[in-house]
Amino acid sequence: MISKVLIANRGEIALRIQRACREMGIKTVAVHSTADADAMHVRLADEAVCIGPPSARDSYLNVAAILSAATITGADAIHPGYGFLSENAEFAETVEEHGLAFIGPTAEHIRTMGDKITAKTTMRALGVPLVPGSDGALPDLQAAREVAEKVGYPVLIKAAAGGGGRGMKVAQTADDIEEAWSVARAEARAAFGNDEVYLEKYMNRPRHIELQVLGDAHGNVVHFGERDCSLQRRHQKLLEEAGSPALTDAEREEIGRTATEALSRMGYRNAGTLEFLYQDGQFCFIEMNTRLQVEHPVTEMVCNVDLVREQIRIASGEPLGYTQADVKMSGHAIECRINAEDPETFMPSPGTIKVFHAPGGLGVRMDSAIYVGYRIPPYYDSMIAKLIVHAPTRAEAIARMQRALDECVVDGVKTVIPLHQKILADPSFQKGDYTIHWLENFVAAQQAGK
């Protein structure tokens, strides 16, 4: 049994994990950089250990310091949250070598999915549909040309070590392929120290739909439906929904069955997310995230599940204790990420919170670690809160989010709340009619209309 969890993270997700631990009677250990000495996750933890200077490289990514903190406090498990060390296979391995439970998948599964080529090869072998493209890494430019001719232009060359939009190059026609090939390889080598690349047909107007799964250590895997994360700008998600306005129940069941069968055959354990591009009624797997995600609350609201509690139970070796038929999805949920940024230029706006009033009422959840007097440090990302609403229908969820954003007061820093209000009022958003390109076009139109 797990009785004390070290949370290797900061901000709202550190608090989110603490809350689950407290309800389960589990003690918590916070770690923090010197810049976070006054952070909420430090104040609310049972114990706290300073692990280094502000730079994440020397604190939240400092494996030796984190393991020392776990040892001196007698923690028996580590939850990595998202970002930082959450998808670092060596970290997961080291944690387990020290006799602690890693609250996440096996190091082997993290490694397999971290390489986008082995992730795709694995999923293909398990019957998950993929984007048409190369079978594995491209050995040379000639191979790139041949695959591109076969699948048809435009194509994308992607880095095996990439993901999240880094190391991707489009070739619109055969005239571009040589350049895309060499630029993608050079960027991949510079960014990741690995110049392996693969090729896919470029999908021009997909939605980004991801499926939440949980597997236990006994081979049981269930899914909790999908999230539509198409509303992003420069690969930063801004607003997410569960379920996707584009999917039918039959489509959800079909992709869910395919994915859970695949992950069960892999022996996948703990929380994971399969990312798909969805266009013209087709799902194409692109990547798998082997961690809890920022946007997990929309799934929690719709499925009435505590995903962090489930992660901890799974890491203690407990069976899921329910089957797919027990997972019931009800209503619609929306999350707005509230970043301390200028809502027009997206410039970060660090500073001190002067006034803060969180919205409330039926179906409203605010996950945040800010408080009046809190100084947002400039060293980390700019997300200061996640506002999540749940309602019986999508239209009611939109109305509820609009009134919750109206209630929300954050003074002292700029936030993207005004942008969220414009998005929610937009007719095409309200119709659910959007792709991954919608938000960038919307922002450009706003700027042009000034």
Catalytic residues: 291
Give the C-alpha separation, 370 to 365, whole Å. Answer: 14
Could you say which of 81, 105, 163, 297 contacts ligand MV4 (CB under 6 A)?
163
CB 312 within 8 A of CB 4: no
β-strand partners of 136: none
Q: Closest separation between CB of residue 237 and ligand MV4, Å? A: 8
Q: Closest separation between CB of residue 173 and ligand MV4, Å? A: 16
- 157 binding ligand MV4? (CB under 6 A): no
Q: Closest separation between CB of residue 419 and ligand MV4, Å? A: 17
Q: Tell me the window of 38-46, 175-183, 203-211, 295-303 that interacts with ligand MV4 (CB under 6 A).
A: 203-211
- Residue-wise burial string across 46-72, b where 16 or more C-beta atoms lie within 10 A, e elsewhere: ebbbbbbebebeebbbbeebbbebbee
Report the residue number, 205 or 431, with the smaller CB distance to ligand MV4.
Answer: 205
β-strand pairing of 282-289 with 207-215: unpaired
Report the residue number, 213 or 314, with the smaller CB distance to ligand MV4.
Answer: 213
Token pair for 127:
């019957």
Task: Number of residues interacting with ligand MV4: please give it, by CB under 6 A.
Answer: 17
Report the residue number, 95 or 298, with the smaller CB distance to ligand MV4.
Answer: 298
Q: Could you identify the residue written with the tokens 């660090």?
A: 350
Q: Tell me the window of 96-104, 145-153, 157-165, 178-186 that interacts with ligand MV4 (CB under 6 A).
A: 157-165
Report the residue number, 163 or 297, with the smaller CB distance to ligand MV4.
Answer: 163
Token pair for 180:
């895309």
Query: Per-residue x/- mask for ligand MV4, residues 258 to 277, rule CB under 6 A?
Result: -------------------x
- 139 binding ligand MV4? (CB under 6 A): no
Give the C-alpha separation, 15 to 11, whole Å. Answer: 7
Environment class of 421 (CB within 10 Å of its CB; exposed 0-12, middle 13-18, buried 19+): middle
Report the residue number, 17 or 156, with the smaller CB distance to ligand MV4.
Answer: 156
- Residue-wise burial string across 297-325, b where 16 or more C-beta atoms lie within 10 A, e elsewhere: bbbbbbbebbbbbbbbbbbbeeebeeeee
- 287 binding ligand MV4? (CB under 6 A): yes
Report the residue number, 79 or 208, with the smaller CB distance to ligand MV4.
Answer: 208
Q: Tell me the window of 161-169, 243-251, 326-334, 366-374 that interacts with ligand MV4 (CB under 6 A).
A: 161-169
User: Could you give the angle at the alpha carbon of 434 between the alpha carbons of 348 and 368, nearest 5°?
Assistant: 35
Could you say which of 203, 213, 238, 423 contacts ligand MV4 (CB under 6 A)?
203
Give the C-alpha separation, 143 to 171, whole Å. Answer: 14
- 156 binding ligand MV4? (CB under 6 A): yes
Give the C-alpha separation, 413 to 335, whole Å. Answer: 21
Report the residue number, 4 or 120, with the smaller CB distance to ligand MV4.
Answer: 120
Nearby residues of 232 by Cβ (< 8 Å), 6 or more positions away = 208, 238, 436, 439
- 232 binding ligand MV4? (CB under 6 A): yes
Q: Closest separation between CB of residue 427 and ligand MV4, Å? A: 22
Binding residues among 91-130 for ligand MV4 as defined by CB under 6 A: none
Q: Tell me the window of 22-30, 62-70, 72-80, 156-164 that interacts with ligand MV4 (CB under 6 A).
A: 156-164
- 197 binding ligand MV4? (CB under 6 A): no
In angstroms, the Cα distances linking 136 to 9, 120, 159, 238 are 34, 8, 11, 32
Which residues form the interface with ligand MV4 (CB under 6 A)? 131, 156, 163-165, 200-203, 206, 208, 232, 235, 277, 286-287, 436
